[in-house]
């Protein structure tokens, strides 16, 4: 059962838009069809009992487009969303939200490949910076770099803990010449300047404090403390008579 280009209204008389496609015995959209919504958006794909359900393509009038799975009118399953600014997300959706594993390509060419929760980077993931070729690989919490991770550059990398998108506390730089520099990141505040309304504005600056240089050593998240310290302690003990 199908109809062509018919306007539809809900029980309160609000317009549902035009629909062309299959229906069930109750007259609901069911099967394959194409709809033009009152706001100008369009949907072409599968329906079940009046709702978008299964594979489909939803085109927004602002140029955005979603191609993928639906479950009772919600993006749910695997799908690709093309955003108006040129960015793109390919991956898992749960009830209209990016959730699970997915790859997001940003307008500037950067990419994030990893886990998502409630539309935010959350879990393990890798962010690749297109312009420099560097990347961050590690843990994310609510969109921010947190806990164990590493910055990977062309000829060296930094391994350590992160907090609020910045290196935090102890870590080490690993160089391609088979040596490491151990140390700590501290936050220091620059001179405070008064704002336009008399308020104080402070800027926190990260400062790397080197401790020692060693050969390559294993690294365990949250325990990057002792390679240099142990080596120093061993040398002191060896010098005792």
Instruction: Report the pLDDT value the prediction gives residue 229, as an integer from 0 to 100.
Output: 42
> Where is average pLDDT lowest: 28-32, 79-83, 150-154, 236-240?
236-240
Q: What is the mean pLDDT of the chain?
A: 84
Residue 145 pLDDT level (bands cut at 50, 70, 90): very high
Instruction: Report the pLDDT value the prediction gives residue 1, as an integer from 0 to 100.
Output: 35
Q: Would you say residue 205 has pLDDT above 90?
A: no
Closest to 223 (Cα-Cα) out of 159, 173, 176: 159
Instruction: Please name the residues in contact with 120: beta carbons below 8 A apart, sequence gap of 6 or more.
Output: 98, 140, 142, 143
Find out whether 95 and 74 touch, Cβ atoms under 8 Å.
yes
pTM of the model: 0.79
Residues 176-187 pLDDT 10s? 989 999 999 988
Residue 216 pLDDT level (bands cut at 50, 70, 90): confident
Residues 92-123 pLDDT 10s? 999 999 999 999 999 999 999 999 999 999 99
Instruction: Report the pLDDT value the prediction gives residue 187, as an integer from 0 to 100.
Output: 81
Q: Would you say residue 72 has pLDDT above 70?
A: yes
Q: Would you say residue 193 has pLDDT above 80?
A: no
144/29 Cα distance (integer angstroms) = 42
Q: What is the mean pLDDT of residues 217-228?
A: 56
Q: What is the mean pLDDT of residues 168-176?
A: 92
Closest to 214 (Cα-Cα) out of 230, 202, 236, 199: 230
Closest to 128 (Cα-Cα) out of 154, 110, 108: 110
Residues 21-55 pLDDT 10s? 999 999 999 999 999 999 999 999 999 999 999 99
């Amino acid at each position: 059962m199908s109809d062509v280009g018919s306007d539809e209204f809900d029980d309160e008389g609000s317009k549902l838009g035009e629909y062309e496609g299959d229906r069930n015995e109750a007259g609901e959209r069911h099967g394959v069809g194409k709809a033009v919504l009152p706001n100008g958006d369009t949907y072409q794909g599968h329906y079940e009992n009046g709702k978008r359900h299964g594979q489909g393509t939803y085109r927004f009038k602002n140029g955005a487009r979603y191609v993928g799975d639906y479950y009772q009118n919600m993006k749910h399953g695997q799908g690709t969303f093309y955003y108006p600014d040129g960015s793109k997300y390919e991956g898992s959706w749960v009830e209209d939200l990016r959730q699970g594993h997915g790859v997001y390509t940003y307008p500037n060419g950067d990419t994030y490949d990893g886990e998502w929760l409630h539309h935010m980077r959350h879990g393990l993931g890798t962010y690749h910076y297109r312009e420099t070729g560097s990347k961050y690989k590690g843990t994310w919490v609510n969109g921010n770099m947190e806990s164990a991770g590493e910055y990977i550059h062309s000829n060296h990398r930094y391994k350590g803990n992160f907090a609020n998108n910045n290196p935090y506390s102890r870590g080490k730089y690993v160089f391609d010449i088979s040596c490491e520099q151990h140390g700590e990141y501290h936050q220091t505040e620059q001179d405070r300047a008064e704002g336009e309304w008399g308020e104080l504005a402070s800027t926190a600056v990260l400062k790397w404090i080197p401790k020692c240089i060693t050969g390559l050593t294993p690294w365990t998240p949250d325990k990057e403390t002792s390679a240099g310290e142990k080596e120093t302690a061993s040398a002191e003990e060896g010098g005792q008579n």
